[in-house]
Amino acid sequence: MVDPRIEKLAALLVERCVDVQPGWQVLVMGYPPARPLLEELCRQIGRRGAYALLRVRVDDPPLRAWMLEADDDLVGRLAEIDGHDYDAMDSYIVVLAPENTRTGSEVPPERVAARNAAMRPHMKDIFSGDKPWVGLDFPTQALAQDAGMTLAQFEDFYWGAVLIDWDALAVKMRKIADRFDAADEVRIVGADTDLRFSLAGRHGRVDALGANMPGGEVFYSPVEDSAEGVITYAEYPACYQSHQVGGVRLRFEQGRIVDASAESDEKFLLGMLDADEGARRLGEFGIGCNPGIQEHMRNTLFDEKIEGTIHLAVGNGFGFLGGTNESAVHWDMVKDLRPGGRIELDGEVVQENGKWLLDL
């Protein structure tokens, strides 16, 4: 018998997040610890009259051993079969279930960037939002350990963050998005932080039963040349591709990062920012709204949804939100505003210390 929580989660993913249609080819990708969910997804996709193409991964990144060994020019090329998988699929669901979240951290950033660049053309319809997809984590010891919890504690947290009343939360987030849509300038103020950027002409998206599970954010692609000022991610490390970079501080001029430093792993930070032209500009501004997530997990998928935080991603923007920045990088960095921070829209304070001043 299938765990009813897994059955319910699979139904949310298949029916709501992706809305699988008959005849679709759906790539179901994930790691062995997530087997119960992966198999339930295959069953439910089958019931919808669609193909579930299961791709179990045994390493992260999936071709890590190959990426470490291949010649420089080879690593930037993609097998035609792999490219075709992404070109021809109608949707994908990817379930991360790491046994060790540091796996992959030894792959040189330029190799990661080369591989991402080779994948990019095939991910066009994903980035643009033309193909529905969803990415999520499945509880493992490694995720629990990073979150400072036992597996049992982490599981309680996890199910509390994914099996919530999504329809009610979507209504609340829509109200927040309406207010930001109407504004031109956003100002983020906090410890060693005073950053302004423009959303003029841009519209936000409410993430509830969309591409992330758990969802629970409102997000934008800010105007590319607008960011001015400083942001310091003092509260949490910036986590990306198995790295955890402490104390990231970024200074922007005309939308571009002109000064970057970190208290730890600065080399990785600078390597990523130099990956390509777009990696030094903002691709995303997001506002965390999930009431089921209160603590930092060192896991972006959850952390960027923490109620009372914002996040900014350096790198690739979202075409479907009017974003024009292009990059092989998309690195979400989360800033906690609850200990002393605020969000201003065109000079009006709308959130103070993580609490909304709006009528929601």
* Pairing outcome for strands 348-352 and 309-315: unpaired
Please identify which residue in 3, 15, 21, 66 interacts with another protein, judged by CB under 8 A. 66
CA–CA separation, 165 vs 149, rounded Å? 25
Work out whether 339 is an interface residue with another protein (CB under 8 A). no
Using CB under 8 A, count the residues that bind another protein.
44
* Shortest spacing between CB 150 and another protein, in angstroms: 22
Work out whether 35 is an interface residue with another protein (CB under 8 A). yes
Please identify which residue in 3, 46, 165, 360 interacts with another protein, judged by CB under 8 A. 46
What are the two backbone dihedrals, phi and then psi, of residue 100, each rounded to the nearest 5 degrees?
-160, 115
* Shortest spacing between CB 343 and another protein, in angstroms: 44
Work out whether 58 is an interface residue with another protein (CB under 8 A). yes
Structure tokens at 85: 């998988």
Work out whether 1 is an interface residue with another protein (CB under 8 A). no
Question: Site mask, another protein, residues 309-328, x = CB under 8 A?
Answer: --------------------
The half-sphere exposure of 323 on its side-chain side, counting CA atoms within 13 A, is 29
Work out whether 21 is an interface residue with another protein (CB under 8 A). no
Secondary structure (H, E, C), the chain? CCCHHHHHHHHHHHHHHCCCCCCCEEEEEECHHHHHHHHHHHHHHHHCCCEEEEEECCCCCCCHHHHHHCCHHHHCCCCHHHHHHHHHCCEEEEEECCCCCCCCCCCCHHHHHHHHHHHHHHHHHHHCCCCCEEEEECCCHHHHHHCCCCHHHHHHHHHHHHCCCHHHHHHHHHHHHHHHHCCCEEEEEECCEEEEEECCCCCCEEECCCCEECCCEEEECCCCCCCEEEEEECCCCEEECCEEECCEEEEEECCEEEEEECCCCHHHHHHHHCCCHHHHEEEEEEEECECCCCCCCCCHHHHCCECCEEEEEEECCCHHHCCCCCCCCEEEEEEECCCCEEEEECCEEEEECCEECCCC
Please identify which residue in 7, 82, 155, 276 interacts with another protein, judged by CB under 8 A. 82
Work out whether 108 is an interface residue with another protein (CB under 8 A). no
Work out whether 54 is an interface residue with another protein (CB under 8 A). yes
Please identify which residue in 84, 124, 267, 355 interacts with another protein, judged by CB under 8 A. 84
* Shortest spacing between CB 83 and another protein, in angstroms: 10
89 vs 177 by CB, closer to another protein: 89
99 vs 194 by CB, closer to another protein: 99
Tell me which residue of 261, 339, 262, 332 sits closest to 298, measured CA to CA: 332
* Shortest spacing between CB 301 and another protein, in angstroms: 22
45 vs 164 by CB, closer to another protein: 45
90 vs 224 by CB, closer to another protein: 90
Work out whether 79 is an interface residue with another protein (CB under 8 A). yes
Please identify which residue in 6, 20, 60, 85 interacts with another protein, judged by CB under 8 A. 85
* Shortest spacing between CB 203 and another protein, in angstroms: 34
What contacts 49, CB < 8 A, 6 or more positions away? 22, 23
* Shortest spacing between CB 10 and another protein, in angstroms: 11
Work out whether 287 is an interface residue with another protein (CB under 8 A). no
49 vs 108 by CB, closer to another protein: 49
Please identify which residue in 89, 93, 149, 282 interacts with another protein, judged by CB under 8 A. 89
The residues with which 187 forms a beta bridge, in sequence order, are: 196, 344
Stretch of residues binding another protein (CB under 8 A), selected from 77-85, 292-300, 303-311, 324-332: 77-85
Work out whether 55 is an interface residue with another protein (CB under 8 A). yes
Binding site for another protein (CB under 8 A): 25, 27, 32, 35, 38-40, 42-47, 49-59, 62-66, 68-71, 74, 77-82, 84-85, 88-89
